[in-house]
């Protein structure tokens, strides 16, 4: 029988050969390749010099593919954020998708930059000028111009409202004989020898033709592949745990344990399993000898939400198919390297209003059903009295009252 390590090594080698073929077709308009090109600050510097028409720009610091969060925890990954010697901040984004380059997306990026600049108690006047630069595959704004500069103005006076916030759209489909047109040409080149810029061509040649550069690119593509694998492994773990639970039920029945005791034991185990996956205590249930999955909805809208759940399942499958079709098309015609086997997660906004009393009743029922899991009583008290976890635990240390009495 072949050694498993040897098989893994052969699989890795086969993937690396595929990666090398992909790398040859990459252009700087490809997200993965772009961030590797820009690891050389000289490349970021050159791109900014051309777009800003300022040869004096010197990049002193930059961050690539960094997550920025707002106060609500909503995050966005910014391709490149650079700071120059004048303390100006630049966010450079390569956008192949029109939706990813919408005006409101640009506005959001401006806000994220501002929120992550000032230190506590620092004056607002210390905010530097910021530039959000979207290099778009198509002419998003539709005026057939190579570049668009967007600044604010006072409508009544037509005077500039100089708050230091600037948005620039660069139309990458315009590749004329200007310096900007030459840059757009270079961003679409697969072959370094066809580029105008020595700075960009040197970096592209390094990543595509040198042993070190190709190895660096293959390593990054392998990391992306492994992320997809990990997602699949997590699903497998959940399925495996449920399979073990089913086997346990049958083993206990064969040993002659009463059904009522088995039911209670399995329900407790399933609740703990459900909580370990972050689903709460009602994700899995044990009914008529079968383990079922369910989503618990509270209040008078339960039937409507269950019907909505069915519709969402169908919608999810359609959306996933559409996403994979788009990824395939992008890989084939736009030099991208999306993993078609990666998990695609669709999130829906559950913005319905919960029936507070019904939710409390359900939490109370959980605590009464599983007195051997004291944290359920803690959670119930936290929800009912709107107190933090440490206060709820402290109360439990000084009382042996059953939850029925606590409820009263």
Neighbours of 89 (CB within 10 A): 20
State whether the Cα torsion 77-83-87-93 is positive or negative. Answer: negative
Could you identify the residue written with the tokens 């618990």? Answer: 296
The answer to whether residue 64 sits within a structural domain is yes
The answer to whether residue 30 sits within a structural domain is yes
pLDDT for 316 equals 73
pLDDT for 238 equals 52
Render 58-76 in DSSP notation, one character per residue.
-EEEEEEEEEEE-TTS-EE
What is the pLDDT averaged over residues 19-34?
89
The answer to whether residue 330 sits within a structural domain is no
What's the rounded Cα separation, in Å, for the pair 247 and 230?
26
Residue range 235-287, pLDDT digits in tens: 554 555 555 555 555 555 555 555 555 555 655 655 555 555 444 555 555 55
| The pLDDT of residue 399 is above 80 | no
209 pLDDT band, cuts 50/70/90, is: very high
What is the pLDDT averaged over residues 317-328?
73
The answer to whether residue 312 sits within a structural domain is no
pLDDT for 111 equals 92
What is the pLDDT averaged over residues 291-319?
56
pLDDT for 135 equals 96
What is the pLDDT averaged over residues 351-379?
73
| The pLDDT of residue 166 is above 80 | yes
The answer to whether residue 309 sits within a structural domain is no
The answer to whether residue 37 sits within a structural domain is yes
Q: Containing domain of residue 163, as a range?
A: 13-209
What's the rounded Cα separation, in Å, for the pair 114 and 359?
40
What is the pLDDT averaged over residues 137-158?
95
pLDDT for 339 equals 80
pLDDT for 379 equals 83
The answer to whether residue 268 sits within a structural domain is no
Q: Which two tokens stand for residue 299?
A: 């209040």
pTM of the model as a whole: 0.57
Q: How many domains does the chain have?
A: 1
The answer to whether residue 76 sits within a structural domain is yes
Q: Which two tokens stand for residue 375?
A: 């944290």
Kind of pairing, strands 130-136 and 89-95?
parallel
Residue range 45-103, pLDDT digits in tens: 999 999 999 999 999 999 998 888 777 777 788 999 999 999 999 999 998 777 788 99
């Amino acid at each position: 029988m072949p050694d498993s390590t040897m098989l893994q090594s052969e699989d890795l080698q086969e993937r690396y050969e595929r990666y090398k073929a992909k790398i040859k077709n990459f252009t700087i308009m490809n997200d993965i390749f772009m961030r590797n090109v820009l690891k050389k600050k000289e490349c970021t510097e050159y791109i900014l010099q051309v777009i800003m028409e300022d040869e004096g720009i010197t990049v002193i610091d930059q961050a690539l593919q960094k997550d920025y969060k707002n106060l609500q925890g909503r995050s966005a990954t910014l391709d490149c954020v650079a700071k120059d010697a004048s303390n100006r901040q630049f966010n450079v984004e390569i956008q192949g998708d029109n939706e990813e380059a919408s005006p409101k997306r640009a506005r959001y990026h401006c806000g994220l930059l501002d929120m992550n600049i000032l230190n506590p108690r620092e004056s607002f006047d210390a905010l530097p000028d910021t530039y959000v630069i979207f290099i778009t595959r198509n002419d998003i704004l539709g005026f057939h111009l190579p570049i668009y500069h967007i600044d604010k103005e006072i409508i009544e006076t037509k005077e500039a409202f100089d708050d230091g916030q600037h948005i620039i759209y660069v139309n990458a489909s315009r590749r004329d004989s200007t310096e900007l047109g030459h840059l757009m040409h270079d961003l679409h080149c697969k072959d370094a020898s066809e580029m105008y810029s020595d700075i960009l061509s040197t970096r592209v040649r390094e990543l595509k033709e040198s042993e070190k550069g190709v190895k660096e690119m293959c390593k990054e593509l392998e990391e992306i592949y492994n992320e997809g694998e990990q997602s699949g492994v997590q699903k497998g773990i959940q399925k495996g745990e449920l399979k073990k639970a089913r086997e346990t039920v049958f083993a206990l029945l064969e040993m002659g344990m009463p059904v009522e005791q088995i039911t209670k034991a399995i329900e407790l185990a399933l609740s703990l399993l459900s909580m370990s996956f972050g689903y709460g205590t009602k994700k899995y249930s044990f009914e008529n000898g079968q383990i079922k999955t369910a989503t618990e909805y509270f209040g008078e809208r339960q039937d409507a939400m269950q019907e909505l759940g069915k519709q969402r399942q169908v919608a999810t499958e359609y959306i996933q198919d559409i996403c994979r079709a788009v990824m395939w098309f992008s890989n084939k015609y736009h030099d991208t390297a999306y993993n078609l086997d990666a998990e695609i997660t669709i999130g829906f906004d559950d913005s319905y209003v919960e029936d507070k009393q019904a939710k409390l009743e359900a939490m109370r029922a959980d605590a009464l059903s599983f007195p051997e899991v004291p944290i359920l009583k803690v959670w119930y008290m936290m929800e009912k009295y709107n107190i933090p976890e440490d206060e709820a635990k402290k109360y439990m240390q000084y009382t042996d009252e059953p939850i029925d009495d606590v409820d009263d």
